Amino acid sequence: LTAFTEEKLGQAEKTELDAHLENLLSKAECTKLWTEKIMKQTEVLLQPNPNARIEEFVYEKLDRKAPSRLNNPELLGQYMIDAGNEFGPGTAYGNALIKCGETQKRIGTADRELIQTSAINFLTPLRNFIEGDYKTITKERKLLQNKRLDLDAAKTRLKKAKVAEARAASEQEVRITQSEFDRQAEITRLLLEGISSTHAHHLRCLNDFVEAQMTYYAQCYQYMLDLQKQLGSFPSTFLSNNNQSSSAPVQNVSAPSVLASASASLPSVSNSIVTSGFSELKSLSGSRKARVLYDYDAANSSELSLLADEVITVYSVPGMDSDWLMGERGNQKGKVPITYLELLN
């Protein structure tokens, strides 16, 4: 402590570390700082709920046991399924809610898999560096600091020694402390040079994390694609309801094709994409066959009641609301809602 105080007051010389060692120390500090930031923000990304995060990121307990509680998509899915059953699975809305709920639950499962894989392959190695390697570096660095202070104190005593006997003793002390300082500097240097291999290891872990995310997003995309098909997938109707001008995504991209390459981009929404057959039917004269997806009870005499799975003839009438077509079954005819139909080729 005395040597450190004297050094701060400018009364003692300070042994400088060589430039290479200083650079290694700087690289280690920088690595620790950013590793910690990336690790903490990844945890927030994977689990935004801080209480659940503390529970889920106890790494020693990552043994893939059954989850103790539902995550957000699973909870939403359960609510949708319960609501659908209460409204009636035979109704259009109830049926759609149940299908949406099942898909949300599948997304919830994919969420769990992403958290589990990312924790094991990405977060744990980063945490091991912070709590293991870097702590060792810090300990050895403190030892080096102490050895340097011992050396500086010995050098100061040598300068002050007047008597030959005292000088001889001080010179011997300087030799010993210099030797101990050099040895500790070498130990610290070897540890710090391991930071390069840490970067290489973390690069592999980062690739694993990217792969886990890619798998997750491809799964979710495929689930939503399947759901859209189950619901009848009438993009033009949804867009007219929302007063949007862009069209729905192309549906010919499968999860395997997304997984095939990290650079494969998911389909973008663009105005150039062809809209559904209903838009074409609106712009052309003539009629088409359509399969009824759900039962529909006519609200008034201008509408036609429908039974699920029956096939009817539909055609467009000028000036009719964009959500409706004219439907015919034998000698019966009336307005029918587009969302209850699937056009047949």
Sign of the C-alpha dihedral computed for residues 159, 160, 164 and 168 taken in this order: negative
Whole-angstrom Cα distance, residue 102 to residue 73?
10
- pLDDT means over runs of 10, the chain (345 residues): 51 82 96 97 88 62 61 95 94 93 96 92 95 96 96 92 89 96 96 95 97 97 92 50 42 44 39 46 74 88 90 89 88 90 84
Report pLDDT for 285. 64
Whole-angstrom Cα distance, residue 146 to residue 53?
39
Report pLDDT for 135. 96
Closest of 7, 10, 19 to residue 152, by C-alpha: 7
Q: What is the pTM of this model?
A: 0.62
Whole-angstrom Cα distance, residue 43 to residue 53?
7
Report pLDDT for 39. 95
Quote the tokens at residue 30: 């920088």
